[in-house]
């Protein structure tokens, strides 16, 4: 494929203006074509005589012809040697009809590639047909890109509901006048909530500076791009975006508003973090007070070299907290080495952790450093530390106390400078009580302690987590995020997630694969989830009230609230959102003294 020269398209802005004064009245064609170029979308226009009137840089790249060689020529003549095998958009019985299809294009080098082509009519103020706009995008399923271009007083509204890039427009007063479907998906707002509202008030949050670029474009008419922009979603999450801003003009060339095109970079941001082995708090989602307390504690302990113990059930994010502690500390540029103590048999775990020397055992034909040596000057993360065999616990205790050990088969001490972070889902204090874990090692590990809450105890985070995970999964698969029906959302918000956040990710990934429609319904959720919900509802119905699990949870909340408020019932009732009489009755029912 021949690539056109880079740089702005050289199409004269006034070329063809006499034939198409209406088509340029509200948004100058050249600015619109330039915006499509930044989206890597090819675009060209033809008049009623099928003569090409504009041809942007991306179209030149896709098809492999130069702009100067096609302007003013009949489109049939131009594409005769580069067939697209597609129905001509002028083939409709009633004039020009919209065409949306995937076609194969042969460029001048005879290279074959699949392109989504969307063609739509251009109409004037009197609904008279004035030409055709065609857009081309390689391997990108754009469905119904343009409904139509229509005029309303002096403002041109471009309907781009099926574009996979968020688009919104605003008037000179800063009020939102258009909000497409992709913008809804990215921001979490429904267009009915935002139309007519100030865009800074709706989308600003912590990202006011980026939106000021749209104001600047409306003030001086110059386009601007924010490559590392930020947008605040409805849930208060600040997400990374790339945004293009430009002014909207009327037929008198006066600026009447602005347009923003937004690309969600969440997946790209995650990928970069993985490639660079960097992690920070925007990878961990949570507004619940318990999670905010965890985040604050991470910030406080990150620069310390003290040993950290993280406890929490499977799927609560222990590894993410460990990565955050490492990345926020002074060792962030050094390695973070993870060892799963439950994944290796005891016979191999010692050599894996501490290494061995040549001749230590049959087959040891060379010295091999262990994970502690690999983590030197960095951090070692010992996951599932509760499964560490008793035979190795004494050796680990020596490392904690002196930062030294003997590799397997060696008589020479190896010293290391490492920070140790351990994690378990078993409850080390209980293992100590049952003599399955050394008490002295437990106290050495438990210098700084984190306990991660179950997902069912932070249900207020569920909507935020669902949107965050959906956006990440869809970005990874380059798939448009479907809506979630009210019934399906009811299931997702009321399920207890024994597998915690990891199970929530699996449930949503399952639904995205199964759902081939515009909206996720309960039938798209895993059968295990639906069966568990049905069984819980049945128990609840038979009991005529709360299940045993729900009653136990309520009792625990009341006990914790009483403890936090030093037994003062009035403050406790207020914290729980109930009156003192209700609190007294529940305390009596559950046998709570205080």
- Quote the pLDDT of residue 209: 54
User: 134: which 2 tokens?
Assistant: 């065609």
- pLDDT at position 267 is 58
Q: Which run of H or E residues covers position 55?
A: strand 52-55
Paired sense of beta strands 308-311 and 419-424, if any: parallel
Please check whether the domain covering 277-451 is classified as CATH 3.40.50.300: yes
- Is 109's pLDDT higher than 70? no
- pLDDT single digits (tens) 16-33: 434 444 444 434 555 666
Which tops the pLDDT comparison, 308 or 562? 308
Q: Per mean pLDDT, which range of 101-110, 357-366, 457-466, 491-500 is the poorest?
A: 101-110
* Contacts (Cβ under 8 Å, ≥6 apart) of 459: 493
Res 278: pLDDT: 46
The domain segmentation of the chain, as residue ranges, is: 1-155, 165-264, 277-451, 455-543, 548-590
* CB 355 within 8 Å of CB 374: no
Alpha-carbon distance values, 178 to 71, 223, 242, 255 (Å): 32, 19, 19, 16
Average pLDDT over residues 295-316: 91
> Alpha-carbon torsion 87, 91, 92, 93, what sign?
negative
Q: Given a cut of 80, is residue 350 above it in pLDDT? A: yes
The token duo for 403 is: 């930062």
Find the mean pLDDT for residues 312-326: 91
What average pLDDT score do residues 285-291 get?
81
Asked if 455 contacts 500 with a C-beta cutoff of 8 angstroms, the reply is yes
The three-point CA angle 39-44-46 to 5° equals 155
Does 455-543 match 165-264 at the fold level?
Answer: no
Nearest to 98 by CA among 75, 130, 122: 122
Which one is predicted more confidently, 54 or 24?
54
The pLDDT, as a whole number, for residue 69 is 85
Q: What is the CATH number of domain 165-264?
A: 3.30.450.20
Q: Write down the pLDDT at residue 147.
A: 29
pLDDT above 90: residue 4: no
Q: Hey, which bits of 326-412 come out as E strands?
A: 336-340, 379-383, 404-405
Q: Smallest Cα–Cα separation from 473: which of 517, 515, 506?
A: 506
pLDDT, residue 423, reads 95
In the block, residue with structure tokens 């050599």: 351
pLDDT at 548 over 70: no
The pLDDT of residue 524 = 93
Given this model, what pLDDT does residue 414 score?
92
pLDDT at 518: 82
Q: Of the ranges 135-139, 471-475, 500-504, which is most confident?
A: 500-504
Cβ contacts of 195 within 8 Å, gap of 6 or more: 176, 177, 178, 179
Give yes or no for residue 339 having a pLDDT over 90: yes
3-state secondary structure of 586: helix
- What are the tens digits of pLDDT across the range 413-443? 999 999 999 999 988 999 999 999 999 999 9
Give the pairing of strands 308-311 and 448-451. Answer: parallel
One of 3.40.640.10, 3.30.450.20, 3.40.1280.10, 3.50.50.60 is the CATH number of 1-155, namely 3.30.450.20
**560 pLDDT band (50/70/90 cuts)?**
confident
Q: In a 3-state reduction of DSSP, which class is residue 101?
A: strand
At residue 94, the pLDDT reads 43
Report the distance separating Cα 515 and Cα 509, nearest Å. Answer: 10
SS3 content of the chain, % helix, strand, coil (to 5): 40, 20, 35
Task: Give the burial class of 69: count Cβ atoms within 10 A of its Cβ; 0-12 exposed, 13-18 middle, 19 or more buried.
Answer: exposed
Of 67-71, 187-191, 231-235, 544-548, least confident by mean pLDDT is 544-548
Query: Phi and psi at residue 370, in whole multiples of 5°?
Result: -95, 180
- Of 197, 267, 198, 185, the residue nearest 234 (C-alpha): 185
Strand-pair partners of 380: 337, 420
Question: Is 511 in contact with 520 (CB distance < 8 Å)?
Answer: yes
CB 383 within 8 A of CB 423: yes
Answer whether residue 159 shows pLDDT above 50: no
Comparing CA positions, the residue from 458, 526, 520 lying closest to residue 489 is 520
Beta strands 379-383 and 419-424 are: parallel
Q: Mean pLDDT over all residues of the chain?
A: 76
The backbone torsions φ and ψ at residue 369, rounded to the nearest 5 degrees and listed phi first, read -70, 150
Model confidence at 547, in pLDDT bands (50, 70, 90)? Answer: low
Percent of the chain residues topping a pLDDT of 90: 19
Does the pTM exceed 0.75?
no
- Copy the structure tokens of residue 94: 């009633």
How many whole angstroms separate alpha carbon 353 and alpha carbon 347?
Answer: 11
Domain 455-543 in CATH 1.10.8.60: yes
Q: Is the pLDDT of residue 477 over 90?
A: no
Q: Does residue 14 register a pLDDT over 50?
A: no
């Amino acid at each position: 494929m021949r690539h056109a020269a880079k740089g702005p398209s050289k199409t004269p802005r006034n070329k063809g203006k006499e034939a198409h004064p209406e088509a340029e009245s509200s948004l100058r064609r050249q600015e619109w074509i330039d915006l499509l170029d930044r989206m890597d979308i090819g675009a060209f226009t033809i008049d009623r005589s099928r003569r090409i009137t504009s041809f942007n840089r991306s179209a030149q790249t896709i098809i492999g012809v130069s702009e100067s060689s096609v302007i003013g020529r009949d489109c049939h003549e131009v594409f005769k040697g580069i067939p697209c095998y597609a129905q001509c958009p002028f083939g409709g019985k009633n004039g020009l009809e919209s065409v949306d299809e995937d076609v194969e294009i042969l460029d001048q080098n005879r290279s074959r590639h699949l392109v989504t082509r969307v063609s739509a009519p251009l109409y004037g103020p009197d609904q008279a047909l004035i030409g055709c706009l065609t857009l081309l995008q390689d391997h990108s399923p754009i469905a119904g890109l343009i409904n139509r271009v229509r005029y309303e007083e002096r403002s041109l509204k471009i309907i781009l509901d099926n574009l996979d890039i968020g688009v919104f427009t605003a008037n000179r007063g800063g009020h939102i006048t258009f909000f497409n479907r992709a913008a809804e998906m990215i921001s979490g707002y429904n267009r009915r909530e935002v139309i007519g509202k100030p865009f800074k008030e709706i989308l600003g949050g912590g990202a006011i500076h980026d939106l000021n670029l749209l104001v600047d474009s409306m003030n001086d008419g110059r386009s601007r791009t924010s490559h590392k922009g930020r947008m605040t979603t409805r849930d208060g999450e600040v997400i990374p975006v790339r945004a293009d801003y430009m002014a909207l003009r009327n037929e008198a060339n006066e600026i009447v508003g602005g347009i923003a095109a937004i690309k969600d970079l969440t997946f790209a941001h995650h990928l970069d973090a993985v490639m660079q082995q960097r992690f920070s708090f925007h990878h961990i989602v949570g507004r619940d007070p318990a999670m905010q307390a965890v985040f604050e504690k991470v910030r406080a302990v990150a620069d310390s070299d003290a040993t950290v113990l993280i406890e929490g059930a499977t799927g609560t994010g222990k590894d993410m907290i460990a990565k955050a502690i490492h990345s926020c500390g002074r060792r962030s540029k050094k390695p973070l080495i993870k060892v799963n103590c439950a994944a290796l048999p005891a016979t191999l775990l010692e050599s894996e952790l501490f290494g061995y020397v040549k001749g230590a055992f049959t087959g040891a034909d060379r010295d091999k450093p262990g994970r502690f040596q690999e983590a030197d000057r960095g951090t070692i993360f010992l996951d599932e530390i509760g499964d560490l065999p008793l035979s190795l616990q004494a050796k680990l205790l020596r490392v904690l106390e002196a930062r030294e050990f003997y590799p397997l088969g060696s008589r020479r001490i190896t010293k290391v400078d490492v920070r140790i972070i351990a994690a378990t889902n078993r409850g080390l204090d209980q293992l100590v009580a049952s003599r399955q874990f050394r008490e002295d090692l437990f106290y050495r590990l438990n210098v700084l302690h984190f306990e991660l809450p179950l997902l069912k105890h932070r249900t207020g985070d569920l909507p935020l987590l669902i949107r965050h995970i959906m956006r990440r999964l869809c970005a990874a698969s380059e798939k448009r995020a479907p809506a979630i029906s009210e019934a399906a959302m009811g299931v997702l918000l009321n399920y207890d997630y024994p597998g915690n956040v990891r199970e929530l990710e699996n449930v949503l990934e399952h639904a995205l694969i199964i759902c081939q429609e515009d909206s996720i319904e309960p039938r798209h959720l895993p059968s295990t989830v639906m069966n568990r919900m049905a069984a819980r509802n049945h128990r609840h119905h038979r009991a005529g009230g709360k299940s045993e699990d729900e009653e136990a949870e309520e009792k625990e909340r009341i006990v914790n609230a009483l403890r936090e408020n030093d037994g003062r019932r009035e403050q406790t009732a207020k914290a729980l959102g109930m009156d003192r009489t209700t609190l007294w009755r529940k305390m009596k029912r559950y046998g709570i003294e205080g």
